[in-house]
Structure 1
Amino acid sequence: MRSPGNQGVPFEALLPYAICIAFFGVSGAGLSKLRNMQNGGKRARHSVDQWDRQMMDRDRRLTGFLRGQTDQVKAPAGFELSNPWRVEKGIS
């Protein structure tokens, strides 16, 4: 006969914890994959400063993707009209 103090925890009591941990893992992996897809298959960038934002915007205007890059010497047609600089109207 077993003593009452040596009984283990029934595994049914641990199932909700296992399900919660599994869902956290699935949602974390899904968000990581979604962020990877949004960055064109590249890893997410951290500590992006103004210069990086400016270069990423230029890359988006050149290639159509925020993280895309091109090695072509000439800019595509219409790029000269997509100037990101905002100028104020002159006083007339």
Structure 2
Amino acid sequence: MPVPFETLIPYGIITAMFGISGAGMSAIKYYQNGGKRTRRGIDQWDRVLMDRDRRLTGDIRGQTDAPTAPDGFELSNPWRVEKRMS
């Protein structure tokens, strides 16, 4: 017994929407990372370096080869120091 094609239209629409949304999310992540692939398995060391890159260049994936840090970078220390007990 054949199935009328009208019953398969919603499944085709659902499949197309999943494909469109997946491609859209992939494109958004690609452009948010400066045209680079997304990072996976990020550990604490990678987070520290990503924070440093963000403070240096303003972009979390940006890197610079300048021999000197920009103005104000010496005041942008990520390490938190506990206060002295007195």
Task: Supply the distance in 1 between the matched residues of 2:11 and 2:85 (Cα, whole angstroms).
Answer: 68
TM-score (norm 1): 0.87
Q: Tell me which residue corresponds to 1:13.
A: 7
Q: Secondary structure at the match of 1:58?
A: helix
Post-superposition shift, 1:12? Answer: 1.4
TM-score (norm 2): 0.92
1:25 has 2:19 as partner = yes
Task: Supply the distance in 2 between the matched residues of 1:82 and 1:35 (Cα, whole angstroms).
Answer: 27
Identity %: 66
Post-superposition shift, 1:67? Answer: 0.8
Give a deviation string over 1:22-63, Cα, whole Å, max 9, x none. 000011111111111221221111100011111110000000
Q: Tell me which residue corresponds to 2:73.
A: 79
5+ residue gaps, structure 1, are: none
Post-superposition shift, 1:79? Answer: 0.3
CA RMSD in angstroms, aligned pairs only: 1.1
Computing the radius of gyration over CA atoms, which structure comes out larger, 1 or 2?
1
Match of 2:31 among 33, 37, 44: 37
5+ residue gaps, structure 2, are: none
Give a deviation string over 1:64-89, Cα, whole Å, max 9, x none. 01111111111100000000000011
Runs (4+) off by over 2 Å: none
How many residues end up aligned between the 2 structures? Answer: 86
Task: Supply the distance in 2 between the matched residues of 1:53 and 1:68 (Cα, whole angstroms).
Answer: 14
Match of 1:66 among 57, 60, 67: 60
